[in-house]
Amino acid sequence: MKKTLFLTACCLVWALGLWAQIPALERVEPMFWWVGMHNPDLQLIVHGDNIAARKVELSYPGVKLVAVHKVENPNYLFIDLRILSGTVPGTFPIKFTKAGEKPLLYSYELKQRDQSAGRAQGVTNKDLIYLIMPDRFSNGDPANDSFTNLREKGVHRDSIFSRHGGDLQGIMNHLDYLKDLGVTAIWLTPEIENDEPHASYHGYAVTDYYKIDPRYGTNELYKKFVEKCHSMGLKVIKDLVHNHAGTEGYTISDMPMKDWVHQWPTYTKSNFRDMAVMDPHASPADRKQMLDGWFDHRMADMNENNPYVQNFLTQNHIWWVEYTGLDGFRLDTYPYNDPEYMAKWATDVKAQFPHFSIFGETLVWSAADQAYFTQGNTVNRGFDTQLPGVTDGVVKDAIYEALNGNEGWTDGVNRLYAVLAQDFLYQDATRNTIFLDNHDMSRILSVVGENISKYKSAMAMLLTLRGVPQMYYGDEILMKNFSNPDGLVRADFPGGWDGDKSNKFVVAGRNPAENDAFDYVRKLANYRKNTTALQTGKMMQFIPENGVYVYFRYDDHKTVMVVYNSRDNDQTISTSRYFERIKNAKTAKNVITDEVIDLSKLTVGNKSTLVLELVDNQ
């Protein structure tokens, strides 16, 4: 996400000493909770007109009212509850009383946890993630395209900055397509409410943490979406934004306290230099601006040192997992968050959901920078981040260099070899999510100059290298463009709207080149889904020679050999150098064509990749 900032009007609320006019009891969040959670403590945030002038009363067996906190803004109360072990599910009134006035009542429910199999199961290197922007994939319910009570109105598909009408129902209508492609996990960019007046479709300026954006559907529909995915063997990843919030959200437009967000004398944006976080020589001012500077003028920087903010965010994230059973979190703009809080957050989430998966967006420039943020790396930090993996942008850049760069000692395909050789920096590099593109960067087809051999080689590497592969919607049908601006790489999936000129979800709607690309990805993705060597198997790579890079993925069941020719001419190579892994195999099956070939010599086309399953001829 691009970053700019100014001092917003919400900050003027503090300067002028004014408070928003709101209903007497507007919100209680979380609006319900569960018995039997790992952490017995729960903090409710209550928002209402001068609610701090009222006393709080409640009575329910097993629920203890620990404390009621009044803060700077009298429109808020924070209520600490302890839900003791053995408390039974049920509903009880929370009473807000004031002498001479009618009490306000909120009926609070403690639900029974759903601990059925298949919930919060985690996303691992056995999976293939498919990234979708909900607004741009498919419109399954035109009735929810626009709402009069939301700031951005209407559907304008001719504008890359406007809403296009895609929604959850549209995605649900095409789960069979994703299943057939070989996808096993779906990552949606934020689907919760973004009620900003412009470019709200991307979802990264959250205005209601507990509400699915009505233009996508409802909370109930999102829960059904997760359940339907699970019934089809698909997992779901939720995109979280800890670092910032949309300025139109109630906790920003009517902040509980001044330090709910990071305040500056004048509008100050982040310097976006992740090095300042890890640099032992860094200026404290640089580090502060990196972490506390705002991301954008409509994205207020959350103060994660504030314990009320911490509870608000952590409880919300746990709430969504418990409510829906989703399987993983992708953490937006990870380096910009408070490091100590994020470590505590990850510990709390993993304590509640032991099999749950978490990976952070880092988008830094070196393997050392990436590894710094991952769990197990405590050098010069004094704590463990507890972050299992990251979005591996360094491998992505190395793949680009292998495809497009000029051959050199550390350039061209040698860059990819060198980057993977640095996997010793990670506790477990196989937990990293590898990718070729996403919603913030140019599409892979355009990056490789629309060269189909390069495109297929990129897909082959994505689906055979170590880690958790993630692809971006439409890459399989040759969607293209450069991220200048980002909206150009966020085009609608053709066929996702009634009346589209073509329907790329079906064979008949795709042209021969698109079907060829789709078939290639489908064949390799489904092969990976059924081949443990490409999921959890070990990896052995060989120093590139004459522009040819060879690596193996192997386990006790299969050995897969991957051969990439980075040069502009076809090459025939001897395989004797690779005896350590070839061993007794004399033939191999081409995974794409099913042809059985002689292993003694291999001919590889220019910029092309062979994916071979070795045949044991012992």
> Comparing C-alpha atoms, which of 11, 14, 9, 10 is closest to residue 73?
14
Catalytic residues: 332, 361
What's the rounded Cα separation, in Å, for the pair 188 and 330? 9
- Phi/psi at 259 (nearest 5 deg)? -90, 25
What's the rounded Cα separation, in Å, for the pair 479 and 502? 13
> Comparing C-alpha atoms, which of 86, 100, 10, 87 is closest to residue 54?
100
DSSP E strands: which ranges in 252-343? 299-301, 328-331
3-state class (DSSP) for residue 51: helix
Is the Cβ–Cβ distance between 493 and 458 less than 8 Å? no
For the chain, the straight-line distance linking the first and the last C-alpha, in angstroms and rounded, comes to 54
CA count, 13 A, side-chain hemisphere, 410: 4
- Phi/psi at 421 (nearest 5 deg)? -65, -15
What's the rounded Cα separation, in Å, for the pair 63 and 231? 35
Q: 245: part of which helix (H) or strand (E)?
A: strand 244-246
DSSP H helices in 294-338? 307-324
Is the Cβ–Cβ distance between 473 and 493 less than 8 Å? yes
> Comparing C-alpha atoms, which of 185, 119, 121, 27 is closest to residue 322?
119
DSSP letter at 298 equals T
Contacts of 158 by beta carbon, 8 Å cutoff, 6+ apart = none
Token couple for 384: 């463990």
Report CA torsion sign: 180, 176, 232, 438: positive
Over its C-alpha atoms, the chain yields an Rg (Å, rounded) of 26
What's the rounded Cα separation, in Å, for the pair 532 and 267? 52
The separation between CA 189 and the C-alpha centre of its own chain, rounded to angstroms, equals 7
Q: Is 67 exposed, middle or buried (0-12, 13-18, 19+ CB in 10 A)?
A: exposed
What's the rounded Cα separation, in Å, for the pair 71 and 291? 25
Q: Is 111 exposed, middle or buried (0-12, 13-18, 19+ CB in 10 A)?
A: middle
